[in-house]
Structure 1
Amino acid sequence: MSLPPPPLVLGLDFGTTNSVAAIARAGTSQLVPLLGPTGADLVFRSALCFWEEDARIAVEAGPWAVAEYLDYPEGSRFIQSFKTVAASPSFEHATIFDRRYRFEDLGRTFVRKLCEHSGGALDGRAARLVVGRPVAYAGHRPDEALARARYDAVFAELGAEVHYVYEPLGAAFSYAAALEAPATVLVADFGGGTSDFSVVRIAAPGAAKRCVPLGHAGVGIAGDRFDHRILDRLVMPFLGKGGSYRSFDKVLEIPAGYFSDFADWSRLAFMRNRKTLAELDKLRRAAVDPAPIETMIAVIEQELGYRLYEAVGQVKRDLSSAEVALFRFSGGGLSIEAEVTRAQFEAWIDPDIARIEARVVEALSAAGISADEVDRVFLTGGSSLIPRIRRLFAERFGAERIASGNELTSIAHGLALIGEEDDLAAWAA
Structure 2
Amino acid sequence: MTSAPDDISIGIDFGTTNTVIALAGPEGAAEALHFTQNGVVHRTYNSALCFWEDHQGAGTQLRMEGGPWAVEQFLVGSAAHRFIQSFKTFAASPSFAQTRIFRQNFRFEDLLSAFLRSLLRHADRPLSFDAGKIVIGRPVRFAGASPDEALAMKRYRTSFGRLGVEHGHYVYEPVGAAFFYARQIKEDATILVADFGGGTSDFSVMRFERHDGRIQATPLGHSGIGIAGDAFDYRIIDRVVSPRLGKGSDYVSFGKRLAIPNGYYANFARWNQLAMMKSNGDLKELIELERSAVDPAALQKLIDIVENDLGFALYRSVSAAKVALSSADQADFRFRQDGIDIEETIARADFEDWIADDVARIAETVDEALAKAGLGAHEIDKVFLTGGSSFIPAIWRVFGERFGEDRLMTGDQFESIAYGLALIGRAERPEDWAMRN
The equivalent of 1:320 in structure 2 is 326
Higher mean C-alpha displacement, 126-135 vs 222-231: 126-135
C-alpha displacement of 1:208:
4.5
Shift, 1:10, TM fit: 1.1
State the distance in 1 between where 2:5 and 2:292 align.
Answer: 69
The equivalent of 1:13 in structure 2 is 13
Comparing 205-214 and 80-89, the one that deviates more: 205-214
The 5-angstrom pairing of residues 118-133 of structure 1 reads: 118-124=123-129, 126-133=131-138
Out of 154, 162, 186, the position equivalent to 1:157 is 162
Question: 1:262 and 1:106 mapped to 2: Cα distance?
Answer: 21
Corresponding residue of 1:185? 191
- Which range is displaced more, 159-168 or 22-31? 22-31
Higher deviation after alignment, 370-379 or 28-37: 28-37
Cα distance in structure 1, aligned partners of 2:212 and 2:254: 76
The reply to whether residue 85 of structure 1 matches residue 75 of structure 2 is no
Equivalent in the alignment of 2:268? 262
1:131-180 CA-partner distances (Å, limit 9, x unpaired): 11100111121111111111111100222321211000000000011111
- 1:43 has 2:44 as partner: yes
Amino acid at match of 1:365: A
1:396-407 equivalence runs, <5 A: 396-407=402-413
Q: Is the alpha carbon distance of 1:5 and 1:280 closer, same or farther for their aligned partners in structure 2, counting shifts above 3 Å?
A: closer
362, 367, 372: which one aligns with 2:368: 362
Range with greater deviation from structure 2 (351-360 or 101-110): 101-110
Shift of 1:63: 1.0
CA–CA separation in structure 2 for the residues paired with 1:197 and 1:73:
43
Instruction: Say which is worse superposed, 185-194 or 49-58, in terms of deviation.
Output: 49-58
Residue ranges of structure 1 left out of the alignment (5+ in a row): none
AA aligned opposite 1:269: A
Q: Quote how far apart the aligned CAs of 1:98 are.
A: 3.2
Report if aligned partners of 2:264, 2:282 keep a CA contact under 8 Å in 1. Answer: no
AA aligned to 1:34 is: F
The one-letter code sitting in structure 2 at the alignment partner of 1:362 is E
CA distance in 1, matches of 2:149, 2:81: 32
Give 1:425 deviation, angstroms: 4.1
| CA shift for structure 1 position 290 | 2.1
Could you tell me the TM-score, scaled by structure 1's length? 0.95
Give matches, 1:17-416, under 5 Å. 17-26=17-26, 27-54=28-55, 55-72=60-77, 75-124=80-129, 126-160=131-165, 161-204=167-210, 206-273=212-279, 275-416=281-422
Name the CA distance, whole Å, in 1 between partners of 2:78 and 2:265.
22
Distance 2:360 2:285 in 1: 36
Matches of 2:373 and 2:46 in 1, distance apart? 34
Instruction: Answer yes or no: is the 8 Å Cα contact 2:8–2:23 preserved in 1.
Output: yes
Between 143-152 and 240-249, report the one with greater CA deviation. Answer: 240-249
Asked whether 1:418 is paired with 2:419, we answer no
Kept in 1: contact 2:202–2:225 (CA 8 A): yes
| Rounded Cα–Cα distance in structure 1 between residues aligned with 2:229 and 2:129 | 32
Distance in 2 (CA, whole Å) between partners of 1:233 and 1:336 is: 12
CA distance in 1, matches of 2:78, 2:301: 17
List per-residue Cα deviations over 1:184-222 (Å, max 9, x = no partner).
Answer: 100000010000000011113745552221110000000
Contact residue 52 and residue 79 of structure 2 kept, 8 A: no
* Change beyond 3 A, Cα 1:393–1:97: same
The Cα shift of 1:6 comes to 6.9
Root-mean-square deviation over aligned CA pairs: 1.9
Q: CA deviation at 1:332?
A: 4.0
Report the Cα offset of residue 406 of structure 1. 0.7
The aligned length equals: 426
Q: Deviations over 1:89-111 (max 9, x none)?
A: 11122222232221111101110
Distance in 2 (CA, whole Å) between partners of 1:79 and 1:5 is: 31
CA shift in 2, pair 1:163/1:336, >3 Å: same
User: Hey, what's the Cα distance between the residues in 2 that align with 1:212 and 1:119?
Assistant: 36
Separation in 2 of the partners of 1:194 and 1:267?
Answer: 16
Separation in 1 of the partners of 2:136 and 2:22?
A: 11
Q: Contact 1:95 / 1:270 at 8 angstroms: preserved in 2? A: no
Partner SS for 1:79: strand
SS in 1 for 2:235: helix
Partner Cα distance (2:177, 2:129) in 1: 24
- Where 2:22 maps in the other structure, the secondary structure is strand
Cα deviation 1:362-388 (Å, max 9, x = unaligned): 000111110000010000012112121
Residue identity in the other structure for 2:42 = D
* Conserved? CA contact 1:295–1:332, under 8 Å: no
Specify whether residues 19 and 256 from structure 1 end up closer, same or farther in structure 2 by C-alpha distance, changes over 3 A only. same
Q: C-alpha displacement at 1:274, in angstroms?
A: 7.0
Following the alignment from structure 1 to structure 2, what is the Cα–Cα distance between the partners of residues 381 and 66? 22
For residue 331 of structure 1, report the CA deviation from its aligned partner. 2.3
Structure 2 residue runs without a partner (length 5+): none
Letter of the structure 2 residue corresponding to residue 363 of structure 1: A
**Could you tell me which amino acid in structure 2 is paired with residue 367 of structure 1?**
A
**2-structure distance, mates of 1:98, 1:235:** 33
Specify the SS of the correspondent of 1:286.
coil
TM-score, normalization: structure 2?
Answer: 0.93
Which residue identity is paired with 1:19?
A: T
Contact 1:315 1:327 in 2 (8 A): yes
Q: Percent identity?
A: 50
Output the amino acid matched with 2:89: T
Letter paired with 2:420: G
- Distance in 1 (alpha carbons) for counterparts of 2:293 and 2:345: 29
The answer (yes or no) to whether the contact 1:10–1:416 under 8 Å persists in 2 is yes
Cα distance, 1:333–1:6 mapped onto 2, change above 3 Å: closer
What is the identity, as a one-letter code, of the residue corresponding to 2:171?
Answer: V
Q: CA deviation at 1:264?
A: 2.1
**Contact conserved, 1:37 with 1:64, CA < 8 A, in 2?**
no
